[in-house]
Amino acid sequence: MHRDIPSVRAAHMASAWALLFGAMHVVWALAYFYWPTIGRVTLGPDFEWAFGRPWFMAYDLVVAGLFVVAAALAVAMVRPWGARVPRWVLVPGVWTAAMLLFLRGAVGVVMDLLVMLGAVHRAPSPLMFYDFWFLLGGILFGAVAWQQRRRATVAGSSSSSIWP
């Protein structure tokens, strides 16, 4: 059975990206109450207002859960057990993750460039890194979605399974 190595790698990279970002959200959620210094070091003083607010902890935990779901969707696209998940769940889920992450990252990067060029009068923030991080996630999930689109087209024309 033929495995599409770039597709599998993209899925695993997207999954790892999502799990890492989900883990960061768990750390931030816990940092608000238990280790405020970690929150200040990783998020900076701009987010000091959020420390100690239960709704922000809940937000981070919900986001972490969504990233776990996204990680599972990416891997399900290339693993045999993913064939048990309806394609109407997998494909739109991965495309949605790709588009949301890509748009969030692209808008952030454009705003960062405008700040750096002086077109927007705002102080540059060390959090600009996160805009590139979102863009990377969008690109990785987009690669998974695109590879699956291509594989489905090839599989439909040759009557072979799209699942490795």
Domain extent, residue 113, equals 5-158
**Does the residue 36 lie in any domain?**
yes
* Residue 39 vs residues 60, 98, 127: alpha-carbon distances, Å: 12, 27, 13
**Does the residue 164 lie in any domain?**
no
**Does the residue 51 lie in any domain?**
yes
**Does the residue 163 lie in any domain?**
no
Q: Is the dihedral of CA 19, 21, 22, 26 positive or negative?
A: positive
From CA 109, how far away is CA 128, in angstroms rounded?
A: 8
pLDDT at 58: 85
Element (H, E) at 78: none
How many Cβ atoms are within 10 Å of 30's Cβ, its own excluded?
Answer: 15
pLDDT at 49: 61
**In the chain, which residues have pLDDT < 70?**
1-4, 32-53, 126, 149-164
pLDDT at 82: 86
Q: What is the tally of structural domains in the chain?
A: 1
From CA 134, how far away is CA 85, in angstroms rounded?
A: 26
From CA 67, how far away is CA 72, in angstroms rounded?
A: 9
**Does the residue 90 lie in any domain?**
yes
pLDDT at 95: 95
Which amino acid makes up residue 146? W
Q: What is the reported pTM?
A: 0.77
**Does the residue 17 lie in any domain?**
yes
